[in-house]
């Protein structure tokens, strides 16, 4: 009697770890960095590098495995993908391959008695909340990297600071929105991003995004920058609808929702308010995801 989990342990994991180790070494990782990234010992990395671990050609030759290894390797190298997300993505692929696919076929080869059964073994939900949460964090990280590499971004940061946020697909409150803890500030001409994205840390920009979504806007990400009439005109000229809301009226969320509902803009679009008593004028860019929002900012500064 052989369990499919044994196929995973004996064939899939050694093969994928070997592929990831080789990918990371090709990206310039040291043996210690590879070991830390994969959560294994340096001696294990050495074994993978020198062919000391048996691997499966069928698994390494599968295009889905190759694509995921490359995507995880790139994400670990850039910091866009956390070890948690890498684990979840590999776990999802494992469950996919166990469900009437490559690993299921290997299981049937090891246990020929299973061939008389057509039923698939659905043991994992690929749309789990953990996976979606990590995907949103990863998206925000990618957007932040674009902003960090945009030389003119610091000059667009308002006095209250900026934040780049993205929400879960079914977001209902600020706890469902990931952003930068402590906001992004201009420190001597450099946009300073204090730490990794977290959920529930951006109340204001998250609220603007949620209000726009409540009004029916198909957006999941937003960033706030300083207000300047020329800036808004430049965004309009680039093809982005611009919608003004009254920051003095009631609270931001009802004002934003009404303005977006009345204008019904196509995404991506611009929201702005020209200030009021004790309120700094601000411009908001909203789009489908954080990298898209960040690229709009980048293009604006060129």
Tokens of residue 115, six digits: 């061939």
Tell me what pLDDT residue 116 has.
57
pTM value is 0.79
Query: Up-side HSE of residue 242: CA atoms within 13 Å toward CB?
Result: 19
For every residue of 1-17, DSSP letters joined together read ---HHHHIIIIIHHHHH
Under 8 Å CB-to-CB from 175, ≥6 apart: which residues?
199, 200
Tokens of residue 102, six digits: 């490559």
Place of tokens 């004028």: 281
pLDDT by residue, tens only, the chain of 302 residues: 788 889 899 999 999 999 999 999 999 999 999 999 998 999 999 988 888 889 999 999 999 999 999 999 999 999 999 999 999 999 999 988 988 789 888 888 888 876 654 444 443 455 557 788 989 999 999 999 999 999 999 999 999 999 999 999 999 999 999 999 999 998 888 999 999 999 999 999 999 999 999 999 999 999 999 999 999 999 999 999 999 998 776 556 688 999 999 999 999 999 999 988 888 999 999 999 999 999 999 999 88
Tell me what pLDDT residue 127 has.
56
**Chain-centre distance of CA 257, in angstroms?**
26
Tokens of residue 256, six digits: 């934003």
Under 8 Å CB-to-CB from 256, ≥6 apart: which residues?
208, 211, 212, 215, 245, 271
* Diameter over CA atoms, the chain: 77
Tell me what pLDDT residue 70 has.
97
Nearest-angstrom CA–CA distance, 265 and 268: 8
Rg of the chain's alpha carbons, rounded to an integer?
Answer: 24
Which residues face 273 on adjacent strands? 282
Nearest-angstrom CA–CA distance, 154 and 147: 9
Tell me what pLDDT residue 128 has.
57
Specify whether the CB–CB gap between 160 and 182 falls below 8 A: no
For the chain, helix, strand, coil in percent to 5 are: 50, 15, 35
Per-domain boundaries in the chain: 4-116, 129-301
Architecture of domain 129-301: 3-Layer(aba) Sandwich (3.40)
Specify whether the CB–CB gap between 102 and 68 falls below 8 A: no
Which residues face 185 on adjacent strands? 192
């Amino acid at each position: 009697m052989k369990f499919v989990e044994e196929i995973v342990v004996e064939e899939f994991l050694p093969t994928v770890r070997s592929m990831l180790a080789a990918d990371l070494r090709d990206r310039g990782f040291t043996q210690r960095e590879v070991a830390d990234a994969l959560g294994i010992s340096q001696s294990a990395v050495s074994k993978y590098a020198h062919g000391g671990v048996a691997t499966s050609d069928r698994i390494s030759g599968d295009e889905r495995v190759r694509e995921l290894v490359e995507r995880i390797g790139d994400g670990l190298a850039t910091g866009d993908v956390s070890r948690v997300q890498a684990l979840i993505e590999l776990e999802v692929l494992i469950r996919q391959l166990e469900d009437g696919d490559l690993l299921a076929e290997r299981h049937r080869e090891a246990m020929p008695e299973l061939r008389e059964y057509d039923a698939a073994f659905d043991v994992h939900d690929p749309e789990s909340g953990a996976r979606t949460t990590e995907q949103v964090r990863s998206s925000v990280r990618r957007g932040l990297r674009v902003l960090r590499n945009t030389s003119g971004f610091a000059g667009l940061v308002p006095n209250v600071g900026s934040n780049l946020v993205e929400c879960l697909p079914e977001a209902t409150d600020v706890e469902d929105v990931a952003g930068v803890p402590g906001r992004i500030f201009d420190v001597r001409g450099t946009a300073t991003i204090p730490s990794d994205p977290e959920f529930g840390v951006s109340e204001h920009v998250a609220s603007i995004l949620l209000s726009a979504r409540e009004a029916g806007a198909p957006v999941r990400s937003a960033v706030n920058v300083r207000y300047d009439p020329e800036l808004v005109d430049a965004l309009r000229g680039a093809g982005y609808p611009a919608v003004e809301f009254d920051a003095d009226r009631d609270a931001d969320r009802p004002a934003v929702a009404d303005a977006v509902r009345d204008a019904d803009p196509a995404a991506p679009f611009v929201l702005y308010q020209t200030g009021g008593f004790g309120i700094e004028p601000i411009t908001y860019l909203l789009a489908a995801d954080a990298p898209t929002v960040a690229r709009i900012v980048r293009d604006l500064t060129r």
